[in-house]
Amino acid sequence: MTQPLWTPSPDRVKASEITRFCAWLNDREGTALQSGADLREWSVANREPFWSAIWDYFGVIGEKGATPFLSGKGILGERFFPGASLNFAENLLRMGAARDPDATAIVFRGENKSATRWTWGDLEAQVSRLQQALAAAGVSPGDRVAGLLPNRPESIAAMLATVSLGATWSSASPDFGTRAVLDRFAQIEPKVLFTTDGYWYNGKRIEIAGKLAEIQADMPSLAQTVVIDYLGDATAVADGLRDASTYEDFQAPFAPADLAFARMPFDHPLYILFSSGTTGAPKCIVHRNGGVLLQHVKELALHGDIHPGDRVFYFTTLGWMMWNWLVSALARGATVMLFDGSPFAPGPEVLWDYADEERFTHFGTSAKYIDSLRKTGLAPGENHDLSTLRTIFSTGSPLLEHGFDYVYDSVKTDVHLASISGGTDIVSCFVGGDPTAPVYSGEIQGGGFGMTVDVWSAPDTPARPGEKGELVCTTAFPSMPLGFWGDDDGSRYHKAYFELFDGVWCQGDYAERTERGGYVIHGRSDATLNPGGVRIGTAEIYAEVERFLDIRESVVIGHDVDGDQRVILFVAMKPGAVLDEELKARVKAAIRAGSSPRHVPAEILEVPDIPRTKSGKISELAVKDVVHGRQVKNVGALDNPSALDHFPDLSKIT
């Protein structure tokens, strides 16, 4: 029998938010729930009373509407809280107990040694001034505001001010190339863009003024660009752009005043996040006002056991949904800990120094970071005071057994290691932690409360424990997206999640259930890339490669190695052209500049031909199967199956 790596103490279980919530539910519903396992079973069987209880227990501010709180039929027809209205910003700032205006709301550290602290009073003052400035700039409900921003306090203030007005927020990281930014933001036509004069990474000062000018030139919807000072050049950068001002000048005419919150319907567009597939522009995923709030509060409080006054950190950028998830910790009355820069500059101890000095209670990161830290040989628990640290979150890619072992051997023996998995698609999790249950190596503890999660091997066929299949959700949940921006007939949305199993959510995660009721995620079952736990598409890579006239065709895939993915680009050259080291360097540089550093291939290899389907589409999945030593499933659909003979089997690489 496998022994758990960690078992919560009776005191830890008693103090958990799950135990408190179960006791409250028992009084309200006449149930007899005692644990996370009990709550999971009841919540799935009683979705409407469960989500109604989440609203009431956590004190959501707004009009709940009349019953029923779940109406309609089928996963695409059901609606949660159809009569409700609320404002997301109001709830993040004021949900639950009144905030002490002098208590710390946000702590920030930058790689360049900059540091900032904002109290709750500071945060509300910033949001108030930005709210007035955005309204004066013409922003109203339904408008889009975008942020090309580092993970700084001003980014949170800009988001809260935007959604306080009923407008929709969307963000990306400033390391994205011009094309990658335009492929995202140009689709949604933002009225205002918040950005910085640059950013810091791995000891380098990186200016983006030229990129901003290019973005503005191809985004005529912008009525205002607001430049936050990070490098000391904000004024000069703003002066070089049209209709631009510095962050200070933008809000200067407005003094802090009482905040006004536009309460919007439960399904009003709150966020637009981006997930890029294998072809075409990135999908613009529209997320619901109330659905995001309820899902995040449930996950942070129950799965993550975050309490008022906790100090919550997640290493993320504004290009990853974990930023949105982290910011929602404000709704729990927690202090949000921000960091911008490389987690290994000047050395691997940088984030643990931060955790020690600021007394983190929760530390969130990617599985890739944990593995990279393991390879440095650093043992944070040996030379850092982590006595306040209760929980470590890991997501982005599967956390393998050696990652679990490293955390308990080298970080902290009595920490709750909560491996979680979900995605940009739902801006939340399908499976995650349970602070009332043991942690087993390599295993996610269970499905999300109120989420009918399973693993299917075929339509209507749940896989047996230990049998691999597709991770699915068989009924609706509040944070299902409204759809894709511009997908008026819903066809792209349906194809993305409901094509494999009709009427059942399936986004391409290859998984298995364990005998204990936990889950193991084995990676992606589709062709989408996932290097370092950041899901990216191949279309942006192709857009840059196609600029090289010597390259006839190309195909890019993710090669799974040691719990992570590395990007491999295969190219077929034009007659007489040579793939030498100089050309490889130029291709990588173009991809880095046009897309992002995460898109840059680890290897560029030459092949004589690229497999295509009979309809002329590149068959990435066939190449991926060959590279991983698997049988190709769609040979019959290929127009030139012999092309696969020239691709290497890299499955033995570790």
Angstrom CA distances, 270 to 134, 151, 286, 427, 486, stand at: 16, 19, 7, 11, 16
User: Residue 482 — pLDDT band, cuts 50, 70, 90?
Assistant: very high
Answer whether the bond into residue 190 is a cis peptide, omega within 30°. Answer: no
Query: Domains in the chain, ordered, with CATH?
Result: 10-87+269-450 (3.40.50.12780), 122-262 (3.40.50.980), 538-646 (3.30.300.30)
Calculate what percentage of the chain has a pLDDT beyond 70: 96
**What torsion do the CA atoms of 480, 482, 484, 489 make, to the nearest 10 degrees?**
120
Q: At what angle do helices 289-298 and 47-57 cross, to 10 degrees?
A: 80
User: Residue 567 — pLDDT band, cuts 50, 70, 90?
Assistant: very high
Please tell me the distance from the alpha carbon of residue 526 to that of residue 541, in angstroms, as a whole number. 17
At 569 the pLDDT is: 96
At 613 the pLDDT is: 66
pLDDT at 643 over 80: yes
Q: What is the overall mean pLDDT for the chain? A: 93
Single-letter residue type at 239? D
Instruction: Return the SS3 of 313.
Output: strand
More confident residue, 544 or 237: 237
* Segment 378-433, tens digit of pLDDT: 999 999 999 999 999 999 878 888 899 999 999 999 999 999 999 999 999 999 99
User: Residue 634 — pLDDT band, cuts 50, 70, 90?
Assistant: low
DSSP calls for 403-417: HHHHIIIII-TT-EE
- Backbone torsions φ then ψ of 627, nearest 5 degrees: -60, -30
Most confident of 1-10, 265-274, 595-604: 265-274
* Segment 146-196, tens digit of pLDDT: 999 999 999 999 999 999 999 999 999 999 889 889 999 999 999 999 999
Please tell me the distance from the alpha carbon of residue 375 to that of residue 575, in angstroms, as a whole number. 43
Tokens 């990161």 — which residue? 365
At 422 the pLDDT is: 94
Instruction: Return the SS3 of 259.
Output: coil
Pair 523, 400: CB distance under 8 Å: no
pLDDT at 46 over 70: yes
Most confident of 87-91, 95-99, 588-592, 633-637: 87-91
pLDDT at 565 over 90: no
CA torsion sign, 435 to 437 to 438 to 440? Answer: negative
Angstrom CA distances, 531 to 85, 318, 418, 523, 586, stand at: 39, 17, 21, 11, 21
Burial environment of residue 320 by CB neighbours within 10 A (0 to 12, 13 to 18, 19 or more): buried
Q: What is the arithmetic mean of pLDDT over 611-639? A: 77
Q: What is the arithmetic mean of pLDDT over 240-255? A: 98
At 637 the pLDDT is: 60
Residue 221 sits at the vertex; the CA angle it makes with 493 and 183, to the nearest 5 degrees, is: 45
* Segment 493-520, tens digit of pLDDT: 999 999 999 999 998 888 999 999 999 9
Angstrom CA distances, 484 to 53, 264, 269, 287, 554, stand at: 29, 20, 11, 9, 28
pLDDT at 539 over 80: no
**Pairing, β 85-86 against β 62-63:** antiparallel
At 525 the pLDDT is: 74
Pair 386, 350: CB distance under 8 Å: no
Helix or strand (DSSP H, E) at 174: none
Residue 98 sits at the vertex; the CA angle it makes with 92 and 104, to the nearest 5 degrees, is: 70
* Segment 258-314, tens digit of pLDDT: 999 999 999 999 999 998 544 457 899 999 999 999 999 999 999 999 999 999 999
Pair 585, 621: CB distance under 8 Å: no
pLDDT at 615 over 50: no
More confident residue, 654 or 124: 124
pLDDT at 654 over 60: no
Q: What is the arithmetic mean of pLDDT over 87-102? A: 91
Residue 111: DSSP 8-state: T
Q: What is the arithmetic mean of pLDDT over 15-28? A: 98
Ranking 78-87, 434-443, 610-619 by mean pLDDT, the lowest is 610-619
- Residue 182: CB partners within 8 Å, gap ≥ 6? 215, 218, 219
Q: What is the arithmetic mean of pLDDT over 480-493? A: 96
Closest to 567 in 3D by CA, of 528, 619, 511, 510: 528
**Of all residues in the chain, what percent are helix, strand and coil, respectively (each to 5)?**
35, 25, 40
What number of other Cβ atoms are within 10 A of residue 126's Cβ? 22
Ranking 139-148, 206-215, 571-580, 595-604 by mean pLDDT, the lowest is 595-604
